[in-house]
Amino acid sequence: MESGYTSGCDLVSPAEPNIIDSGFYKMIVRLRKMTLAAVHIALGLVLGILLLEPVLRSNTTLLPRGIAAPLPVDPPLTDREYEVRYADADIFFWEASLIRPPEENLLEARVHWRTDEFGFPNPAPVPAEVDLVILGRSYSMGAQAEEPWPDVLRGRYGIRVLNLSQTGSGLREKRDFFLRFGLPRNPRYVIIEILPPFDILNYGVAEPWVVRRAVIPFAQNILRRLFLPEVKPDSSDFVYPLRLELAGGSRDCVFYSGYLSALGISMEDWSRSSEWANFRADLAGLVSLFQAEGIIPIVLFIPTKETVYIPLTNNFSPLESASAVAGSWIPAGGGLVQRAAGPGVDAIRANAAAGQGLIREFASLQSLCLVDPTASFAQALRNGSDPFMRYDTHWSTIGHAIVAREVAAAVESGACR
């Protein structure tokens, strides 16, 4: 019997496709599945990062060089040789957009890299007793150098050296390395390497996760293998190399913005900052620890290209472009904060030696032996010899020889007591 009433089920004939089921509904189902998959992927990534952090901290040999890690980065008992060329320079990869790549990827150093049974840059085995323990960063570690100054001390001067330097190590790591590896070997001297832009600025700020620090170096290593030096950065805004007229003649200079920006900080701003107050207190505590053990502390100030080259020039106009991209540090809230605007050439000229003066003042007040090779580096440049690598921020063979000579003189003369 027919009726004028039609149920909702009869609105679409069985012979016609169900638009809701086959179209909109399937799209919703598909969207839900994609959303759930995205959530699962995101959760998996977060969980993977959380798990990766302790793995990298406990297995630092997985990290590329340049990552500040709490343990030696290199595996124990390493013995290998490699070359360092212009395009391998650390600064080249940190600020590739600012630096015109070299026309020729020339050889800068042939490195024979060795680590001891603990992963530190010493020939194995570590002796039971040493004369000198070195607590430094990359400059004293010497992974770019043909003859690092600790090796020169061993070979040329016959000083028994234990080099506990590691890239990026701060006072906390230095103290730990000394207590675990240095103190048991009864050293007579301990050298503390100090580089104000790295050691003092941001001192006390919590270190970022190793995973976060690893992103850029991992990417750089991959790009280096895939593209460089065959493919050069596509940029028309290169700042470096700068042609500076120095006392010993003109030179093409490559600076690091992090070091250059620190040259704009005045002695007064350095002295009043919370970063310096915290660093000074912890450094004084470390010095007291050495002295309580009857060990003579020696402070090694690290000259950089910026602190050596810039005072030797009278033509500062080439520095305008470098200063503009370097950033600067200003006092705020009792500390020093970074801003994008450059410090300006006048500030760099006025304060180029402020960081050096800060360390000199500390050493004097603490009656510490200070080795500061800055003047000898400047004299080498006047004589036509460059103590720095060309594109790299680190010292050349000449620079390492100067540091070894001055440390040996301080130790052998009895001037450090």
Does residue 417 sit within a domain? no
Structural domains counted in the chain: 2
Does residue 14 sit within a domain? no
pLDDT at 7: 43
pLDDT at 11: 45
Does residue 397 sit within a domain? yes
Does residue 160 sit within a domain? yes
Domain that holds residue 180: 79-412
Same domain? 246 vs 347: yes
Average pLDDT per 10 consecutive residues for the chain, totaling 417 residues: 42 50 73 84 80 70 58 82 86 77 89 94 95 96 94 97 91 93 97 95 71 66 60 65 86 91 95 96 97 97 95 89 92 92 90 95 96 97 93 94 97 85
Same domain? 111 vs 240: yes
Which CATH number belongs to the domain containing residue 353 in this structure? 3.40.50.1110
Number of Cα atoms under 13 Å in the Cβ half of residue 4 = 0
> Cα dist. 9→5, 17, 26, 72, 202 in Å?
12, 13, 20, 73, 71
> Cα dist. 40→35, 36, 43, 204 in Å?
9, 6, 5, 37
Same domain? 50 vs 83: no
pLDDT at 314: 87
Same domain? 308 vs 401: yes
Same domain? 306 vs 260: yes
Strands 132-135, 161-163: pairing kind: parallel
pLDDT at 88: 81
At position 361, the amino acid (one-letter code) is E
Place of tokens 């952090």: 53
